Amino acid sequence: MVELLRIELFKIWKRPRTYIAFAAITAIVLIFQFAFKADGISYMNLLLQNVQDSFELNKIKAINGYFMCYIILNTLLIQVPILVALIAGDAISGEANMGTLRLMLTKPVSRTEIILVKFLASFIFTLLLLLWMAVTALYLSLLIFGVDDMLIFRVKGDESQIMQITKDDIMWRYYAAFGYAAIALTVIAALSLFFSVFAENSIGPIVAAVCIVIVCTVISNIDVPVIEQHVKPYLFTSYLVGWKGFFYIGTDPSNIPIKGSIENWASIRNSLLILLAHIVILVGASAWFFNRKDILS
């Protein structure tokens, strides 16, 4: 199993397309950083809206490294599923397309092992992507934009809120958020892998996984009570943005944020469990179907 995983990672390492994902992330992050360095104030004005009529705020200081990372993740974590699907959706179907699946399966390795190894390799790839995001979006932003308290702009139901987290209370939230994002993206990996089992070229499963993510995300964001109550809880995409929960700081009765607190940990925990259940079911189903599949490619 370890040897197989090593082989799988070696193959990913050697493929040029692997680096597309890292290049894409780097490009997006750099563009964001450049744009905000040049004109972050406009964006801040958009977020602050009429709050500026009533309050003084040092907007330059508010556009700090922590804030930047949050903004970048906000956008990037909607795009990264595509990058994860690009690798995981290719896991089995790419081998089928290349013809190597035949060769692989004539080796003394069980199909379940192959699914698990493919899944683990996609998971490790996802972790590396997130690590790279942490390096570029977080650490590089901190280097460029400096350290200060972080403002979180949030729409909660019918209300909009601005939360301020003190700078000594942020890092652990990012680590937790990256951890959560790893689980959330692994669901995408598992979903792509699942589709990958049925296809003989990699375009199909990648497109299928990405389409599902897009469609479900769009549905998740429809503001109709019927959908919010009866559809949204069953869409895994509703839980993909759960990493933000770590930045929703708890407050005392007089609305003052409590350092080190999270507004609703139970909700994050439940989201994590739901995502983990998705992973287990999808990987299990992938193995089940793969074991029963006739290899005709």
User: Could you write out the three-class secondary structure of 8-39?
Assistant: HHHHHHHCHHHHHHHHHHHHHHHHHHHHHHHH
Nearest to 76 by CA among 40, 41, 140, 31: 31
Residue 296 is a binding residue for other proteins (CB under 8 A): yes
* Minimum CB–partner distance for residue 82 and other proteins (Å): 16
Alpha-carbon separation of residue 164 from 11, 45, 258 (angstroms): 45, 16, 10
Site stretch for other proteins (CB under 8 A), options 106-114, 129-137, 200-208, 275-283: 106-114
Residues 6+ apart with CB under 8 A from 254: none
* Minimum CB–partner distance for residue 193 and other proteins (Å): 19
Site stretch for other proteins (CB under 8 A), options 81-89, 131-139, 245-253, 277-285: 245-253
Contact with other proteins (CB under 8 A): which of 24, 41, 149, 204? 149
Indicate the residue type of 209. A
Residue 232 is a binding residue for other proteins (CB under 8 A): yes
φ/ψ (deg, to 5) at 159:
-110, 150
Site stretch for other proteins (CB under 8 A), options 21-29, 151-159, 193-201, 273-281: 151-159
Question: In the structure encoding, which two tokens stand for residue 251, read together?
Answer: 């407050």
Q: Which is nearer to other proteins, 234 or 294 (CB)?
A: 294
User: Total binding residues for other proteins by CB under 8 A?
Assistant: 80
Residue 214 is a binding residue for other proteins (CB under 8 A): no
Residue 254 is a binding residue for other proteins (CB under 8 A): yes
| CA dist., res. 108 & res. 112, Å (int) | 12
Residue 226 is a binding residue for other proteins (CB under 8 A): no
Nearest to 217 by CA among 30, 75, 44: 75
What character string, x for contact with other proteins (CB under 8 A) and - otherwise, covers 8-47? Answer: --xx--xxx-----------------------------xx
Contact with other proteins (CB under 8 A): which of 5, 9, 41, 105? 105
Contact with other proteins (CB under 8 A): which of 86, 119, 245, 275? 245
Q: How many CB atoms within 10 Å of residue 296?
A: 7
Question: In the structure encoding, which two tokens stand for residue 119, read together?
Answer: 């899944």
Q: Which is nearer to other proteins, 48 or 138 (CB)?
A: 48
| CA dist., res. 15 & res. 283, Å (int) | 24
Segment 170 to 209, residues that bind other proteins, using CB under 8 A: none
Residue 160 is a binding residue for other proteins (CB under 8 A): yes
Question: In the structure encoding, which two tokens stand for residue 201, read together?
Answer: 């070229």
Residue with tokens 């490790």: 124
Segment 50 to 89, residues that bind other proteins, using CB under 8 A: 50-51, 53-58, 61-62, 64, 74, 78
